[in-house]
Amino acid sequence: MLSALTDPAETMSSENENPSPQGPSRIRSAYNPMFSPQSPECRSANSLPKFYQNAYPASDYHQEHQYLSLVSTVIDHGTLRTDRTGTGTLSVFAPPPFRFSLSANTLPALTTKRVPLRIVFEELMFFIRGQTDATILSAKGVKIWDGNGSRAALDRLGLTERREGDLGPVYGFQWRHFGATYTDADQDYTGQGVDQLREVIRLIKENPMDRRIILSAWNPADMNIMALPPCHMFAQFYVSAAPTPDGKPLLSCQLYQRSCDLGLGVPFNITSYAMLTHLLAYVTDTTAHEFVHVMGDAHVYTDHVQPLNEQLMRDLTTSFPKIEIAGEHKEGSSVDECLKELEAFEWDAIKIVGYSPQGKIAMNMSV
């Protein structure tokens, strides 16, 4: 990122040392559809858009800029499209990927609005445990799947025989039982299908150079019986050699997301897969290193434009938080012991340090 570039502070005048925020225009005026912080043409301070040069001191470059700049780009330059929900979106296809450092226990969670971290964690554990009953989440105060599992939503999909709350073979089922025949959310699927999550753990531990450390939620055979086909659908994990002789190997994750709701979904997804990488690193004796987010249809729902404009006007004042995991992990644990440990995490074992975001921004969820 900017650490590899010439220091823009050398070209700044004194009046820019503590610049005042100017709202979304400061991002949009610098928009360049070809710009990427990693691109060859961005190797010196003078080639950076003014937003990157002058909005903040170089030492304070914040990786949240990637998200804010994409939101601004989509609002200003996206194509108006109809969508499944009937709401309408502004959309771009295949924007430059986001790259977030996870080093030093960093957890990328937006600071220009509050991301509900407990809810992110509970949904992630719902997936990790292979659960598909939305009432499990709802009982914990996590309501984000209630709409998709409602009687009206299921009936609209023709799933009239399915009880309310039964989401079908969604993310967790595919992660833990890929290829198994789904009947309902109350069935015990132990030993059925492919346990992809166990295989991810096994490969990280036993064959870390493997190029097939994959977690896929995309199963075309099951699409018609899912309450919602997977948006974040395909993750690949990558293990790098330890940076020092006495250090741990580095674990990175790249996610491909086909459908990217920039207002509500993407902030969740960034933090969720970063958190998953940290949890996997903890149980596999590795160190979380980087999260890369690759997007297909990146869109802003038309009824999210106003609240997102409000978010773009907020200043970046704090760094991403840190995540600390409390547990009794024993190095050298077996694959099954690591999997059991991963499944057993509860929110009280997770400590988030230094998260001081700005206030919540309400947005409607399109179902």
Residues with active-site annotation = 231
Q: Could you give the CA distance from residue 364 to residue 181 in angstroms, rounded to a whole number?
A: 34
CB atoms within 10 A of CB 93: 11
Q: Are strands 287-301 and 250-261 parallel, antiparallel or unpaired?
A: parallel
**What is 179-198 written as a DSSP string?**
TPPP--TTS--TT-SB-HHH
Alpha helices by DSSP H, listed for 299-354, are 305-312, 335-343
Closest CA to 48 of 10, 15, 22, 18: 10
What is the helix (H) or strand (E) element at residue 351, kind and residue range? strand 350-353
Q: 């099951």: which residue's tokens?
A: 222
CA dihedral of residues 196, 199, 205, 210 (deg, nearest 10)? -90
Strand partners, 256: 234, 294
CA atoms of 347 and 336, how far apart (whole Å): 22
Please choose, from the candidates 289, 358, 274, the residue with its C-alpha nearest in 3D space to the C-alpha of residue 68.
358
Q: How many CA atoms lie within 13 A of 279 on its CB side?
A: 25
Partnered with residue 254 across adjacent β-strands are 236, 292
